[in-house]
Homo-oligomer: A and B are copies of this chain.
Amino acid sequence: MKNRFKRQSEIRKIIQKGSINSQEQLLAELKTKGFDLTQATLSRDLKEMQIAKMPHPVKGYVYVFTEPEKPKNTAPMKPVNYLADGFRDLRFSGTLAVLRTQPGYASSIAVVIDRTDTWEILGTIAGDDTILIIMKEGISKADLVNALVQIMPNLEGKI
């Protein structure tokens, strides 16, 4: 139907603004624009248009056009071994660990560490040849070393 496309086009516009968090809300918005339909139809439209309700840290949930997932950490193993080669040394200070690398390696190693979301590690910050690792309180040096070996098996013995 002709109306259907106009409607979906309007839906697109509204979603784009990024502040819709339920179909009911969207429905109301559409009514003000002169589109009269039920939630059932809306649900079908959204499905067809591949619009998803996504959790949002601040807004709760928001409807968005979704891109299918990035194949991010699908193949960590290979680059990881390679990255381990950039490793220089590891030292500790309180709840911080400082990992030194060959110049230029730091950020790529840090990215790998971050992606694994290891629970012992709150986060990392990388410069050019140094990575600062912020550890969870109460984590021992050994714990951290284990975690790192998990991530980069080739480190085994280098530490």
Contact of A57 among B87, B114, B122 (CB under 8 A): B87
From DSSP, what is the main secondary structure of chain A's interface residues?
mixed
- When distances are taken between beta carbons in the complex, the residues of chain B under 8 Å from A51 are 55
Q: Mark A61-101, 1 if CB is under 8 A from B, else 0.
A: 10011111110101000000000110111011111101010
In the assembled complex, A31 has its CB within 8 A of some CB on chain B: no
Contact B58 A155 (CB under 8 A): yes
What is the count of identical protomers in the complex?
Answer: 2
In the assembled complex, A104 has its CB within 8 A of some CB on chain B: no
Given A53-B53, A137-B93, decide whether A58 and B46 contact each other with a Cβ distance below 8 A.
no
Closest to A47 in B: B55
Interface size on A, as a range, is 35 or more
| CB of A6, distance to nearest CB on chain B (Å) | 7
Contact of A117 among B12, B47, B58, B122 (CB under 8 A): B12
Contact B58 A54 (CB under 8 A): no
- When distances are taken between beta carbons in the complex, the residues of chain B under 8 Å from A56 are 50, 85
- When distances are taken between beta carbons in the complex, the residues of chain B under 8 Å from A129 are 114
Contact B87 A66 (CB under 8 A): no
